[in-house]
Amino acid sequence: MPDNTEKQLPYAGVRVVEFTHMVMGPTCGMMMGDLGAEVIKVEPVEGDSTRRLLGSGAGFFPTFNRNKKSIALDLKKPEGIEAALRLIASADIVSENFKPGTMKKLGLDYESLKKLHPRLIYVSHKGFLPGPYDHRTALDEVVQMMGGLAYMTGRIGDPLRAGTSVNDIMGGMFGAIGAMAALRQREQTGEGCEVQSALFENNIFLVAQHMMQFAATGKPADPMPSRISAWGVYDVFTVKDGEQIFLAAVSDKQWGIFCKAFGLEDMLADPRLKTNNDRVLARDWMMPLLRSHLAGYSAAELSAVFEKNELPFAPIVKPHELFDDPHLNATGGLAPVRMNDGSESKVPLMPFTLGSERPGIRLQPPLLGEHTDALLREVGYSDADIAALKQRGIAAGD
């Protein structure tokens, strides 16, 4: 794991107070935390619900809550709000992803806070940016369905959500990018601002290429499983023993290398297959020939030939198999992380390097209220005050 504890990360000294849950808001705070910010996660006294999720949500908390501190407060009580306001007074950024109107009811919305703290940057993660839909309750799957992504992913008549929380994760990323831009703007103007990121608009950004395909061609985009490929060879092949592998030859040069590597000189010489566009138009009869020719090879044999000849290929990998991926492990792409039950696993780090190193884990995903006492002391509470808040169920932890 990269050791970033002694290095000055770019957002060191920036304090973020987040009122977030699930994926979108926590992703924003994780990014800021990975880049050096002090991120304080304000949780209800019973804890963020993602600490207890099962099934597809079981990995949410350890994935998106590293490099954060936890304080547990009951925001339904005035004393809990007072503690939150004291924390906010020390912050550069507030981040939230609750339903529209929730933060306003608590007096923690941007309009209320900017009067007290004009330099505050406020990042709001919602389902929709302000407009006709902003009253709706949105989920990643909701916006994938209404934003064209599910249509493009599934087969015709069978819309299918993408296989991960693409809008939640990217929406949080755009929230973090907005926060970074707002920090730079504050350096120039001395004033904070509100940043808004939304699931629906994020989804539209993802399908923009398909919208613009229609603008350029006048023809609606076909879903990915039934689209006309832009390349002649760009497919999953079922080969020996039922294994599957993705193989591609996306240029005329690659087509030549591919044909020579597999003894397909007749196809290489066929004038009907001379250019990539010719091969695209010939896929109906060309692909069955290629599938038949390659069916006797194992996936490992094909991988070896494609890698040797610098042709694009990919094994079909399940997510859990990536823990043992040699590239990820050799390049520091996975780091030890504490799971909800206290066990240890590995988690993917941010997918970029700074000065040849991946931003690492300085703080493990926090225990519920792990930093409650220290943070409350820091904003002026005495030990007796903290004990009283805990006794009344307004604070928890430590």
Q: Which long-range contacts (CB under 8 A, 24 or more apart) does 356-359 make?
A: 357/2, 357/4, 357/7, 357/332, 358/2, 358/331, 358/332, 358/333, 359/2, 359/4, 359/9, 359/34, 359/35, 359/36
Average pLDDT over every residue of 316-344? 96
Q: How many domains does the chain have?
A: 2
- What is the CATH classification number for the domain harbouring 191? 3.40.50.10540
Residues 199 and 235 in one domain: no
Residues 383 and 252 in one domain: no
Domain stop point among 303, 319, 335? 319
Note the pTM of the prediction, 2 decimals.
Answer: 0.92
Domain stop point among 319, 336, 359? 319
> Which CA distances in Å does 190 have to 117, 178, 196?
11, 17, 20
Residue 124 lies in a domain: yes
- CA distance linking residue 386 with residue 397, whole number of Å: 10
Residues 367 and 347 in one domain: yes
- CA distance linking residue 45 with residue 322, whole number of Å: 35
Residues 390 and 334 in one domain: yes
Residues 42 and 147 in one domain: yes
Segment 257-298, tens digit of pLDDT: 999 999 999 999 999 999 999 999 999 999 999 999 999 999
- CA distance linking residue 152 with residue 227, whole number of Å: 9
Residues 65 and 171 in one domain: yes
Task: Give the helix, strand, coil percentages of the chain, each rounded to 5.
Answer: 45, 15, 40
Average pLDDT over every residue of 31-49? 97
8 A C-beta contact, residue 234 and residue 283: no
CA atoms within 13 Å, Cβ hemisphere of 170: 16
Average pLDDT over every residue of 148-169? 96
Q: Using only C-alpha atoms, what is the Rg of the chain?
A: 26
Residue 71 lies in a domain: yes
Residue 306 lies in a domain: yes
Residue 304 sits in which domain range?
A: 229-319
Residues 96 and 71 in one domain: yes
Segment 372-394, tens digit of pLDDT: 999 999 999 999 999 999 999 99
- CA distance linking residue 106 with residue 119, whole number of Å: 20
Domain stop point among 319, 350, 377? 319
Segment 331-345, tens digit of pLDDT: 999 999 999 999 999
Residues 24 and 61 in one domain: yes
8 A C-beta contact, residue 83 and residue 377: no
8 A C-beta contact, residue 258 and residue 311: yes
Segment 3-37, tens digit of pLDDT: 444 468 999 999 999 999 999 999 999 999 999 99
Residues 52 and 192 in one domain: yes
8 A C-beta contact, residue 119 and residue 194: no
8 A C-beta contact, residue 198 and residue 171: yes
Residue 2 lies in a domain: no
Q: What is the mean pLDDT of the chain?
A: 95
Residue 63 lies in a domain: yes
Residues 27 and 155 in one domain: yes
CA atoms within 13 Å, Cβ hemisphere of 39: 33
Residues 271 and 146 in one domain: no
- What is the CATH classification number for the domain harbouring 251? 3.30.1540.10
